[in-house]
Amino acid sequence: MVKLRDTNAGSADQGERLASLDATRGIVLLLFVSGGFGLRVMLPGARWGWITGQWTHRDWFGCSLWDLLQPALLFIAGVALSYSYTNRQALGQNWFRQFGHALLRSAILIALGIYLDSYQANRLLWWEVRGDLQLIGLAYLLAFLVVPLGVAVQSITVGFLLIGHIAAFVIYGIATGQDFWLPDQNVGIVVDRWLRLGAHPRHLATLNGIPATALVLLGTLFAGLVRGGLTPGAKVAVMTLCSLTCILLGWVLSGGNGWIDASWFTVVPMIPRLMTFTFVLTAVGWTLLLFTYFYLVMDGLQLQSWGTPLSLMGRNSLLLFLTFTLAQGWAVRSASLILPASWTLRPLFVTLIVIAMFWLLCFFLYRRRIFVKV
């Protein structure tokens, strides 16, 4: 009989780090660094369109693997928030001290995000809060305010945020007589204009902070399940059922948008750039499914060594994200120097060398117990 480790066990067990969380974060960052393993260059034909299309953002409707990476990090941030809050409570930290830490963490993430966006745009963007790190920082802080209020309030808040977000688009569309989901004319764009923000090149909106906060809170809710009193097997079963239900609901309510495109009546379209309700469901479903089986193998069955390469990347996720964003061009050029220009598999091996570079950085830091956190 296989015995699963109980993550709600006594103090010795509770003191351990949730290895599955680091590995889940690590595989998301591995996919981010890979950029698609060069498949778009090696497989240009239309017959490979579904596979290569997973490594680019959808133009507007639908969902690809690439679209799921950022919301996956939001969900993971929610799981980490729950553990952080509980651990700091156990150390005797009161709410005000924890809020100060959350506020500082949020400010640093937003500042780093503004710097990265400014670096890529080659000009200073003082009030650009729609980037990836800014969204995580904002959502983390807003979710923190709800975490102490308990599971019931967290659940109600998630529903209120997701329904309210969609209602804003619908009400604005009805009031103006326009389609609810136009890329250049929706309530998110109007709010950004009111905030004196220019059009975002990817059509992202500041209002994305609302569903992003819901995503973080969903992460805290499932972290509570992991820490709860159910048996490990029951936790895996519940999380599997929830993840599959979210994926199915997102696909059905979006009228068949998603990885498998179909077509029927659409309740709420799946639009990753606006983080619509159906996209949030889909993102939560896939991320939770991934986390569930890392949890089963690494924290339940205690088979952790195989996931160590991923955990190394997950433990220094912020530093990895920053260094890759800033040094990606240099890394690709350096890797390209040692490979034949005419080699068919050159894009794949360039990617593998780049991954190795950044993984070795994480390994170096891990061996010296250096972990960059905010």
Mean pLDDT, residues 94-98: 93
Mean pLDDT, residues 271-287: 96
Rounded to whole angstroms, how far apart are CA atoms 119 and 102?
26
Tell me: pLDDT of 65 over 60. Answer: yes
Rounded to whole angstroms, how far apart are CA atoms 172 and 194?
14
pTM, two decimals, is 0.91
CA atoms within 13 A on the CB side of 192: 23
Tell me: pLDDT of 62 over 50. Answer: yes
Mean pLDDT, residues 107-125: 91
pLDDT of amino acid 316 = 93
pLDDT tens digits, one per residue of 179-189: 899 888 899 99
Tell me: pLDDT of 363 over 70. Answer: yes
Tokens 């808040």: give the residue: 157
Between residues 179 and 211, the one the model is more confident about: 211
- Structural Rg of the chain based on CA atoms: 21
Which range, 8-12, 36-40, 89-93, 220-224, is most confident? 220-224
When pLDDT is cut at 50, 70 and 90, the band that residue 2 belongs to is very low
Between residues 74 and 344, the one the model is more confident about: 74
Mean pLDDT, residues 49-69: 88
Tell me: pLDDT of 37 over 60. Answer: yes
- CA 4 to chain centroid, in Å, comes to 27
pLDDT of amino acid 202 = 85
Between residues 49 and 157, the one the model is more confident about: 157
Between residues 336 and 283, the one the model is more confident about: 283
Going from the C-alpha of 63 to that of each of 109, 211, 273, 278, the distances in angstroms are: 26, 16, 10, 10
pLDDT of amino acid 9 = 42
Phi-psi group of 370: left, alpha or beta (phi > 0 → left; psi -120 to 50 → alpha; rest → beta): beta
Rounded to whole angstroms, how far apart are CA atoms 341 and 337?
9
pLDDT tens digits, one per residue of 135-167: 999 999 999 999 999 999 999 999 999 999 999
Longest dimension (CA), the chain: 63
pLDDT tens digits, one per residue of 119-137: 988 888 878 889 899 999 9
Contact status, residue 52 vs residue 39, Cβ threshold 8 Å: yes
pLDDT of amino acid 197 = 85
Share of the chain above pLDDT 70, in %: 94
When pLDDT is cut at 50, 70 and 90, the band that residue 13 belongs to is very low
